[in-house]
Amino acid sequence: MAFERLELLSEHGCFGGVQRFYKHASRETGLPMRFGLFLPPQALGGKSVPVLTFLAGLTCTEETFAIKAGAQRTAAQLGLALLTPDTSPRGAGVDSEDHHWDFGVGAGFYLDATRAPWSGHWRMESYLLQELLPAVVSEFNVDGARLGLFGHSMGGHGALTLALRHPGVFRSVSAFSPICAPAQCPWGRKAFTGYLGQDASTWGDHDACLLMALQPTAPYPLGILVDQGLADKYLVEQLHPEAFEAACAQAGQPLTLRRHEGYDHGYYFIASFVDDHLRHHAQALTD
C-alpha cells in the first residue's frame, strides 16, 4: 500500500539520520494529513529498522515531539525509526475543530467517530492502523513486523487503547501521563459524547482500564511502561493512573508505573525520561 500524493515538506540531517516531515492525501479522513518521520543512520545505510510511533497530545502537531522531546539521538543509537502523526484531521470546516475542547471534541482522540458531524473525517484509528502505518512500511526502509507504540496525555490514551484493541500489531507499548480512564474523566466524557454519542456502553471500547480488565491473559508479557509526574495539574481529575494500575494487576499484566516528584504534564517531563522509553521499546523491537 503506497501513499497517495506524498509530498516532502522539509528534511533535516539529525544525529547521522534524517528528520523529515510529509503531507499526503488521506483516503480514511478525506483530508490532507501530515506526519513526521525520523530515519536513523542504519535505515539510510540500507538496513530495515523497527518503527516506534508516538501519538501526541492535545494542541500538538506532527512536529511537537520531533522538536521538543530530544529523542533522535538515542533513536539513532538504537536504530529506531520514529513516526509522529498529526493528532487529528484539519481543515474540515467543522465548528470548534481548531478550538479543541470548546464542545469536548476537535482533537482526534485516536478513535473513529460514529456521530455527525465528526464521523465524516474523524477516523484516526483507521487512519493510523489501516493507512499510515501500512504506507510507511511500504514506502520506507522499515520493518512492519517490529512496531512499537507510545504517546503522551491524549496520545498516551491512544497508545494504550490501540495497543489493546489490535493484538499482535504492536510488540511494545508505553505512555507518558496517559488519560487512563477516559470514561471516568471530564476530558474523556466530553470527547466520547461528541464522537460516539450519549450511550456510555459504547465508550468502553476506547477506555484503557476497561479494555485491560477484559484481557484473559497479559497482552504484553514483556511489560508496559508508564511515567507520571506528581506535579501534573491534570493528575487527579483527568488521568487516573491508579485505575490502570489496578486493571493491569487484575489481568496479570506486568506494569512499571513510575511516579516522579516535581514533574508536570509538559515536554520537559517527556524529555527527561524519553530515553528510558526508547530503550524499553528497543528491548522488544531489536532482534
pLDDT class of 96 with cuts at 50, 70, 90: low
Residue 170 above 60 pLDDT?
Answer: yes
Model-level pTM greater than 0.85?
yes
Distance, in Å, from the CA atom of 73 to the CA atom of 68, rounded to the nearest integer, reads 13
Residue pair 151/57 in contact (Cβ under 8 Å)? The answer is: yes
pLDDT class of 93 with cuts at 50, 70, 90: confident
88 is an active site residue:
no
CA torsion angle for 154, 115, 204, 158 (degrees, to 10)? -20
What confidence score (pLDDT) does residue 99 get? 44
What confidence score (pLDDT) does residue 103 get? 42
pLDDT tens across 207-263, in order? 999 999 999 999 999 999 999 999 999 999 999 999 999 999 999 999 999 999 999
What confidence score (pLDDT) does residue 284 get? 97
Catalytic residue among 24, 265, 277, 281: 265
Residue 178 above 90 pLDDT?
Answer: yes
Least confident of 43-52, 99-108, 141-150: 99-108
240 is an active site residue:
no
The cell for 172 is: 511494545
What confidence score (pLDDT) does residue 106 get? 72
Place of cell 528491548: 283
95 is an active site residue:
no
Catalytic residue among 88, 153, 174, 177: 153
What confidence score (pLDDT) does residue 105 get? 60
Catalytic residue among 227, 232, 277, 281: 232
What is the rounded average pLDDT for all residues in the chain?
95
